[in-house]
Amino acid sequence: MIYAVKFGGAFLILLNINLKLILVVFLFLPFMAAYTVFFSGRLRAALKRNKEHIAGVNVQVEDSLAGIRVVKAFANDELEKAKFAAENDRFLESRKAGYKTEALFFNGMTAFTQLVTAAVVVAGGAGIANASLDLADLLVFLLYIGSLMEPIQKFTHISSQYQEGFAGFERFMEIVELEPDIQDSPQAVELEEVCGSIEFKRVGFRYNENRAYVLEDISLDVKCGEKIALVGTSGVGKTTLCSLISRFYEVSEGQILLGGIDIREIRLQSLRRSVGIVQQDVYLFSGSVIENIRYGKPGASREAVIAAAVKANAHDFIMDLPQGYDTEIGQRGVKLSGGQKQRLSIARVFLKDPPILILDEATSALDYESEKAVQEALEVLAKDRTTFIIAHRLSTIRGVDRIVVLGDHGIEEQGTHTGLLAAGCMYARLYQSQYGDPVTSGETDRFGKKQVI
């Protein structure tokens, strides 16, 4: 406002002094405007690149620090430093380019204002020479030219600040406007009573349109409370299949029904509240033990948390920690052992108490004794719940209702442990490779291997 008034006032005074001289000034204005528009665009692009590159530096730092144990274990400090330096150099280069554009912009505008003054002096000198202007008018004119040019220079400054803000805002909006792949449909319903029957109807899934199908033509009918074990070689798609139930990914073909309703028609919150997962790669948050268990059911009482920990066979080790349940476990639980982390994640699901349970290698990080204890706890937990169990050690799934063997082209076979062994196909081969000939094998030892009798 101030500069607009200043510009208008100076313009009127100058107009009163001499019309020809003001025309000289206005001759420059289109060039100045074009210059401003051109450099504003370049400045904005440079600032945007800067922000992208600083994001690159941040990603690099975060990645190196998050993987600090791997970096140290491989003694690759120098490699990480080199990676950081490369990212940092890119940022430096873009910053240099940004400053160069800024310098050209400001100094170009300053040069223009000086040129205007010089042109007025020349034109004014000519006016005095042919007596159409007197010296006093020229001097006043030159004094007011400053007042006319100052707003223009200020405008350049403001415009660069604006560009900086705008570049940041644009990047912010790019992220805010990202649409999540998976959202509630407008007609999505809330689940009321969930008994947990799940039906896969000719489900096909691939992670990306350009990649091969991970799951093909899967049809599986799971009744309420049934215990299903998923078996198959590593990478065959067991975890993927379970992720589809919680709708972490959308099926590519076919549909999944929960209690007869397509899961795409169920509110995500409601669906995910019904499914409890103990994941293969446990994720804990920094904070205390109790906060991490309570994550399963925010607002649960301390007693409920402890009861869940007892069931997950975690209570004893938690009590041995320096501050018991209030011990800080560090970022991602670095202060705990693999097995301890796993038991916390099991306690979390005990507390959540969902009707559907997915146990993805839930006891893989436990020793034989704890595994047995947790296994018993999980059996209690799984009672009356639909349960999917993924286990590599086949001895742990003998008691389930149905074993589903996944192969490269979908479900290879399914049945009970004894039924599948008798069939002598893929499951029998898998079992044999782990425990030897099932007919002659005796008790297995603590590593799940056949004991030599």
Ligand X SMILES: Nc1ncnc2c1ncn2[C@@H]1O[C@H](COP(=O)(O)OP(=O)(O)OP(=O)(O)O)[C@@H](O)[C@H]1O
- The answer to the question of residue 239 lying near Mg ion (CB under 5 A) is yes
- Distance separating alpha carbons of residues 446 and 371, to the nearest angstrom: 10
Comparing CB distances to ligand X, the nearer of 32 and 241 is: 241
Comparing CB distances to ligand X, the nearer of 291 and 408 is: 408
Comparing CB distances to Mg ion, the nearer of 152 and 362 is: 362
Q: What angle do CA 291, 292, 293 make, to 5 degrees?
A: 95
CA nearest 231: which of 396, 438, 369, 368? 396
Interaction partner, residue 333 (Mg ion, ligand X, none; CB < 5-8 Å by kind): none
Question: Which string of x and - marks every residue 370-399 that binds Mg ion (by CB under 5 A)?
Answer: ------------------------------
Interaction partner, residue 237 (Mg ion, ligand X, none; CB < 5-8 Å by kind): ligand X
C-alpha dihedral sign at 18, 19, 20, 25 = positive
Torsions phi, psi for 190 (to 5 deg)? -90, 135
Residues forming the site for ligand X (CB under 6 A)? 207, 214, 232, 234-240, 280
10 Å Cβ neighbour count for 371? 22
Judged by CB under 5 A, which stretch of 7-15, 41-49, 182-190, 236-244 contacts Mg ion? Answer: 236-244
> Which residues on neighbouring strands pair with residue 403, listed in sequence order?
229, 415
- The answer to the question of residue 363 lying near Mg ion (CB under 5 A) is no
Joined together, the tokens standing for residue 172 give: 């912010």
Comparing CB distances to ligand X, the nearer of 8 and 235 is: 235
- Distance separating alpha carbons of residues 77 and 64, to the nearest angstrom: 9
Comparing CB distances to Mg ion, the nearer of 21 and 405 is: 405
Interaction partner, residue 214 (ligand X, Mg ion, none; CB < 5-8 Å by kind): ligand X
CB of 63: closest distance to ligand X in angstroms? 17
Comparing CB distances to ligand X, the nearer of 234 and 440 is: 234
CB of 239: closest distance to Mg ion in angstroms? 3
Interaction partner, residue 235 (ligand X, Mg ion, none; CB < 5-8 Å by kind): ligand X
Long-range Cβ pairs for the range 158-165 (8 Å, 24+): 159/36, 159/40, 160/40, 160/43, 160/102, 160/105, 160/106, 163/40, 163/43, 163/44, 163/47, 164/47
- Distance separating alpha carbons of residues 151 and 134, to the nearest angstrom: 27
Chain residues 267-286 in contact with Mg ion, contact rule CB under 5 A: 280
Comparing CB distances to Mg ion, the nearer of 109 and 362 is: 362
Beta strand 386-390 with 227-231 is: parallel
Interaction partner, residue 355 (Mg ion, ligand X, none; CB < 5-8 Å by kind): none
CB of 378: closest distance to ligand X in angstroms? 18
CA nearest 17: which of 151, 123, 149? 123
Closest CB to Mg ion: residue number? 239
CB of 430: closest distance to ligand X in angstroms? 12
Residue 264 · residue 247 · CB < 8 Å: yes
Count of residues of this chain found to bind Mg ion when the rule CB under 5 A is applied:
2
Which residues make up the interface to Mg ion (CB under 5 A)? 239, 280
